[in-house]
Chains A and B, each alone.
Chain A
Amino acid sequence: AQSVAQPEDQVNVAEGNPLTVKCTYSVSGNPYLFWYVQYPNRGLQFLLKYITGDNLVKGSYGFEAEFNKSQTSFHLKKPSALVSDSALYFCAVRDRAGANNLFFGTGTRLTVIP
């Protein structure tokens, strides 16, 4: 079975501070991992993905995420938060050997405080 956990429903961070949005996953095989962002009244936008190779993945808008196989985690990070980063963030996983659809976490609402 595949699953994704985002343990924090809400993350607040001051503008200019580093931010982390946590994600852990469970798959039977090796994972493909994704982060998406959803702005109000908008569809989901792709941020970054881990397929293979370097564990540190860089994506759009200065975001990055680190794949940690031993901890089954794929936390999203950014060195300096912007107010415009405030949105709903979803982590998703696909089992390489499993179904083609993505399994999503329940989302973390990030609020960057000016």
Chain B
Amino acid sequence: GAGVSQSPSNKVTEKGKDVELRCDPISGHTALYWYRQSLGQGLEFLIYFQGNSAPDKSGLPSDRFSAERTGGSVSTLTIQRTQQEDSAVYLCASSEDRVETYEQYFGPGTRLTVT
């Protein structure tokens, strides 16, 4: 079946512009995660959605970052007034939220470059 998809695959933007990154999770997965992978760094958790519950936003680095998940499926990560330090690969993952099938399935990522 289809995996997690993300768009665009690459995005180059000028400092100060807003960007939107999209994630389509695996159908039926109730949990959706956004992570950021910077060069030489591990994955940094950003935000987590689970069903209709309020999202866990504890990983968002600043109020310029926001995300929403419409209809319990597609999610959009928005970065306002982008800065050069926002340049990274943004990864989306989804999972079933059951212990025995907990592994997260990752999309290919969106490479964001802020010039």
For residue B37, give the distance in angstroms from its CB to the closest CB of chain A.
9
Q: Is the interface of A mostly helix, strand, loop or mixed?
A: strand
Q: How many A-B residue pairs have CB under 8 A?
A: 55
Q: Which of A42, A44, A46, A104 has the most CB of B within 10 A?
A: A44
Q: Which of A43, A46, A102 contacts B109 (CB 8 A)?
A: A43
Complex CA–CA separation, A90 to B43 (angstroms):
9
Complex CA–CA separation, A68 to B58 (angstroms):
30
Complex CA–CA separation, A90 to B22 (angstroms):
24
Complex CA–CA separation, A94 to B93 (angstroms):
15
The 3 A-B residue pairs with the shortest CB-CB distance, nearest first, are A104-B43, A106-B42, A44-B106
Give residues in B with beta carbon < 8 Å to A.
Answer: 4, 31, 33, 35, 40-43, 45, 48, 50, 56, 58-59, 91, 93, 97, 99-100, 102-109
Give residues in A with beta carbon < 8 Å to B.
Answer: 4, 32, 34, 36, 42-46, 49, 51, 90, 92, 94, 99-107
